[in-house]
Amino acid sequence: MTRTDRMTTDEDAPLVARARAGDRAAFDALVIRHARCVARLARRVVGNAEDAEDVVQETFVRVFQHLQNFRGRSSFRTWSMHIALNLAHDRLRTRRRTPSPRDLAAGIAPLDSLAPDHAANGRDDRAALERAVADLPPRQRLTLLMKVVDGLTHVDIAKVLGTTESAARVYLSMARSTLRRRLASWFARDRRNT
């Protein structure tokens, strides 16, 4: 267990215990603490913010309903994220569609927020990277983003995805190598710039 994981668990533990005893305020605090992280994961799966918000709500409803079953083997955050992932997949199945790369790229920062030295090639690079990330297999994409953007450990990622730590490492490695292969020119230019 990493230090971050221990901290999260330690901080959540009293709130979880109080919530389990029926303290709604404690549960609200847990929701407020982890909703954003869960929402990011849900959005990556369902592809848009509205559906993601529905998934987040449903997630915490389920979390509350099953709080008695939470054994503390993982952190509260990864447990919630695992539930959110399953619900997001259910929602996708229900709608019988998968998010298009455009959906997945929804909410991306405007181009003028790029650094000036990247502005010239920013549009192409950004689009290429978005496309390359969107084209990754779902598990690889989620692993990469959870690792890089959310800063989760391999253990946490494995628990969220319901797999092993070594599998999570493999997903991450494959995602990185796929991106390197698909974005060869981008990397080359980056090396030249530096």
Which parts of this chain interact with another protein (CB under 8 A)? 24, 28, 31-33, 35-36, 39-40, 43-44, 49-50, 53, 56-58, 60-61, 64-65, 90, 93-96, 105-109, 113-114, 125-126, 129-130, 133, 144-145, 147-149, 151, 154, 172-173, 176, 179-181, 183-184, 187-188, 190-191, 194
Distance CA 91, CA 48 (A): 12
Q: How far is the CB of 96 from another protein (least distance, A)?
A: 7
Closer residue to another protein, CB minimum distance, 13 or 61:
61
CA max distance for the chain: 59
Q: How far is the CB of 14 from another protein (least distance, A)?
A: 18
Closer residue to another protein, CB minimum distance, 57 or 163:
57
* Integer Rg of the chain from CA: 18
Distance CA 51, CA 87 (A): 11
Q: How far is the CB of 95 from another protein (least distance, A)?
A: 8
Q: How far is the CB of 9 from another protein (least distance, A)?
A: 19
